[in-house]
Each structure stands twice: as C-alpha cells, then as structure tokens.
Amino acid sequence: MTTALTSDIGDVAPSALTDEGEMSERNPLPSVPTGLRAKASGRLARLLFLAAVKRCDVTVDLEGRSYGRGGPSMTIHDADEFFGRLGVDKNVGFGEAYMTGAWSSPD
C-alpha cells in the first residue's frame, strides 16, 4: 500500500523522499532507481526506446552514435539514469530525466 505524504510543495510520493524521509532541498525528484528490478526495467526500456526511435523522424545521440531517421534531436548524457528512470516510471521518468540533465534537446 502506497500512501502520499503532504509537504509544503503538495502531495509527495514516498519515493521522492530521502533515506531519512525528507525531501531533498536541492532536487525534489526521486533518486535514480537502483536494484535488480530497476536494472532489468532499464535494459528493457533501452531496447524498446531504440527500436521505436529507429522508425521515427527524430535523431537521438547516445554514447557516440546517432539513432533515428533525422529530424528534431535529443542527446542522452547519462544513459543509465535516462533508461533507469524511463524503465521504472515511463513518461514521468522521461520528464524527470530531462529535469536532472540526463538528456537535453536544442529543438
């Protein structure tokens, strides 16, 4: 059972708390997912993401390679964080990874 906590910034999921149960003042986002489930989810997210990108009119720069068919671009700066967040939290993880600088886009 998951319970939401209330702070001065509103309802907060327990995963957004530090180990001591407090919000991080520097970064209110949850930490990068860890553990076996997160690693497996991250690997699967990477495979699915790259398979989808190959069919899209976008360019994704990742680890010195470019993927996609051209068009708006994004650069993944921290693949472990990006795919870890994407694998665990999907769309929310995609946004969190952007907010932490794991990926960026000039477009």
Q: For 23-60, how does the pLDDT look when each residue is reduced to its tens digit (9 = 90+)?
A: 445 567 778 878 888 899 999 999 999 999 999 999 99
Mean pLDDT calculated for residue range 60-64: 97
pLDDT for 32 equals 82
Residue count of the chain: 107
The residues near 45 (Cβ < 8 Å, ≥ 6 apart) are 83, 84, 86, 87
- On the question of pLDDT at 19 being above 90, the answer is no
Mean pLDDT, the chain, whole residue set: 80
pLDDT for 3 equals 42
Q: Which of 3-17, 37-51, 83-97 has the lowest mean pLDDT?
A: 3-17
- On the question of pLDDT at 6 being above 70, the answer is no
77 within 8 A of 54, measured Cβ to Cβ: no
